[in-house]
Amino acid sequence: MGRYLIRRVLFGVLVLFVISMLTFLIFMKLPAGDPARRLAGRQPTPEILDQIRENYGLNDSFLTQYWRFARGLIPLPGFFLNEEIYYSWANRQAVKGEIAEAFQYTAVLTAGAVVLWLAIGIPIGILSALKRRSIADRAAMTFALVGVSFPTFWLGYLLIFAFYYKLGWAPPTGVEIGDGPIETALKGKYLLAWITLAVTSAAFYTRVVRGNMLETLSEDYIRTARAKGLSDRRVTYKHAFRASVTPVVTMLGLDMAGLLAGAVITEQVFVLPGLGRYAIRALEGQDFPPVMAVTLLAALFIVVANLVVDVIYAALDPRVRYT
């Protein structure tokens, strides 16, 4: 297991390196417009543009520029997202601080959505598996089909229209002046966003749990357990559920990592100042340091999540062993 972990970590570093290089390449070599022009005032003379390129090192060689940013990704004090390089070109604020602040809003969004979709998806999936071909099963599958079919942005706006504009039950979108993520959540401003994210994921998890449960329930050891006289309840929840939830753990880890990197569409729809919205703003402004930082952060979440779920998988399923 130790050797396996070391290999996985090294591979993860390689993945992050490739992503950083690709991000840099895309931004610097395939930009939609001249970054220097974006940084200039409203009369960008050739002299001013030249000066901006000088100020931001945009005239340096590709590798020199890349290494300048890559150094800031080394996870050591003094290097990681250092303020000399990783500051927003738009407002000169340290990217580290801005990401830390935005991450809080994304974390609350993710946590709430995860709780909701697990609370919905797993029970419905179990019920559907146990009551196969019943009305409950068909209703659950309809929910699953409809849920995964909803585009997130469409569902979000639909919920806002229904519950805010028409019914007046939900508060307006956006964060109140002076509120942090917790205050925002307590004012109910996350609720529709949680539902938006949860519906799609819950639908998907319903199908996965149902499928796994059905497969597990048909296993020989389940039949043996029943033959031994164990109750249905014990068979279902102690034996079948544990085996069928293992893939869910894998999915959950990756889904959470993906959301923590910024639920871009949901944050845009509900005007939540999380990582996704921060990334969009940076992209629109061709503000490279935040773009690089958020992209690598997102990649890091996925890489780490992959590793963690693999370890958990081995813990849950004794048949799985890594060498």
Partner 1 sequence: MKRYLRFAVVAAVLAVVAAACGGNTTSPTGTGTDTGDPTDIPRGGTLTIAHTQDFFNGLDPTQEYYSVSWEFLRCCMARTLLSYTGRPADEGGGVPQPDLATALPTVSEDQLTWTFTIKPGVMFGSPLGREIEAQDFANAIQRLSDPKINSESYPFYYTAISGFSDAKGKPVEGMVVVDAKTLEVRLDQPEPDIPYLFSLAASAPLPQELLDTHYDAVELGQFLVSSGPYEWEGMDQIALSDKEPPSGMDIEKSYVLVRNPFYDQATDDLRQSYVDRIEVTSYAGEVQELLDKVDAGAIDWCVDCLATSATLKLYQGDPELQQRLIIHPSDALAYTGLNVFEAPFDDVHVRKAVNWALDKQALWILAGGPPAGTVAGHFVPSGMMGGLNVDYNPYETPNNEGDIEAAKAEMALSKYDTDGDGVCDAEECTFDALTVTGDNDAIKALQIAQESYAPLGITLNIKAINYNALVDKCSTLVGHTPYCQAGWGKDYPSPYTFFFPLLDAGANGSNYSFMGATADDLTAAGYSGFETDAAGLGSPNITADIVACRQIAIGPDQDACWAALDAKVMEEIAPLIPRRFPNDIDVLGARIVNYEYDQFAGIGAIDHIAVSP
Contact residues: partner 1, CB under 8 A = 31-34, 37-49, 51-52, 54-55, 91-93, 172-175, 177-178, 271, 273, 277, 284, 286
The residues with which 87 forms a beta bridge, in sequence order, are 94
Give the pair of three-digit tokens for residue 66: 């890349």
3-state secondary structure at position 58: coil
User: Rg of the chain over CA atoms, in angstroms?
Assistant: 24
Give the pair of three-digit tokens for residue 188: 């109910």
Nearer to partner 1, 15 or 48 (CB): 48
In whole angstroms, what is the distance from residue 146 CA to residue 34 CA? 43
Please say whether the beta carbons of 274 and 105 come within 8 A: yes
Nearer to partner 1, 92 or 319 (CB): 92
Query: How far apart are CB 196 and partner 1 at their closest, in Å?
Result: 17
Query: How far apart are CB 277 and partner 1 at their closest, in Å?
Result: 8
Query: How far apart are CB 43 and partner 1 at their closest, in Å?
Result: 5
Nearer to partner 1, 95 or 257 (CB): 95
Nearer to partner 1, 45 or 231 (CB): 45
Nearer to partner 1, 255 or 267 (CB): 267
CA dihedral 233, 238, 244, 245 (to 10 degrees): 110
Alpha carbon of 61 to those of 31, 58, 106, 289, 307: distances in Å? Answer: 16, 8, 36, 17, 35
Q: Which class for 16: exposed (0-12), middle (13-18), buried (19 or more C-beta within 10 A)?
A: middle
3-state secondary structure at position 176: coil
Query: How far apart are CB 269 and partner 1 at their closest, in Å?
Result: 11
Query: How far apart are CB 300 and partner 1 at their closest, in Å?
Result: 25
